[in-house]
Amino acid sequence: MIKVVCGIIYKNGKVFLCRRNPHKQLGGYWEFPGGKLELNENPETALKRELYEEISMFIKVLNHFATVIHKYDNFTIELTAYECKFIEADFNLTDHDKYEWIDINQIINKKLAPADIPIVKKLMRTN
Ligand SMILES: Nc1nc2c([nH]c(=O)n2[C@@H]2O[C@H](COP(=O)(O)OP(=O)(O)OP(=O)(O)O)[C@@H](O)[C@H]2O)c(=O)[nH]1
């Protein structure tokens, strides 16, 4: 099982969402940015590393929000989402072709990576 961390990043009441590059696995799907844990890597460290690599973004990790196990056709992921506070970014996208700051109740209208759907539903229930 592949362990993946992602960030629900808040700025002024909106959340950061981005769209995967077309050539990537799940290309064209929207997701919370993040990536795979490296061997023995702490999830919060991995999340900060990925956000810096993929978006040139600095964040503060606030709390664990949800962990979802999802079976795709070829692999299974354990996706753990943390709520985060935006600090600053250059928005230099390496793995995505688009991003948006979006209201929580609008996220569900995007074509989301299937593993993210239960996370978004929980966000809608709890906000
Ligand atoms: N980052 C991220 N990946 C997700 C989410 N939901 C989801 O199903 N995934 C899947 O989890 C896997 C993690 O991939 P990634 O490609 O972001 O990770 P990475 O940057 O470390 O990997 P790479 O270097 O192989 O590209 C992908 O198959 C991706 O489609 C999500 O919300 N965020």
Task: Specify the pTM.
Answer: 0.95
Domain that holds residue 40: 2-126
As given in the structure block, the two tokens for residue 15 are 């959340």
What CATH number does residue 47 fall under? 3.90.79.10
Q: What average pLDDT score do residues 108-117 get?
A: 98
Beta strands (DSSP E) in 21-95 are 30-31, 34-36, 57-71, 76-89
Pocket test residue of 2, 3, 4 for ligand 1, highest count of atoms within 8 A of CB: 4
Is residue 52 scored above 90 in pLDDT? yes
Mean residue pLDDT of the chain comes to 97
Distance 12 CA to ligand 1 centre (A): 26
Is residue 127 scored above 90 in pLDDT? no
Number of helical H runs and strand E runs in the chain: 3, 7
Ligand 1 cavity residues, CB under 6 Å: 4, 6, 25-26, 31-36, 77, 79, 95, 113, 115-116
Amino acid identity of 19? R
Is residue 95 scored above 90 in pLDDT? yes
Q: What average pLDDT score do residues 120-127 get?
A: 95
Domain count, the chain: 1
Amino acid identity of 92? N
Q: What average pLDDT score do residues 66-77 get?
A: 97
Amino acid identity of 110? K
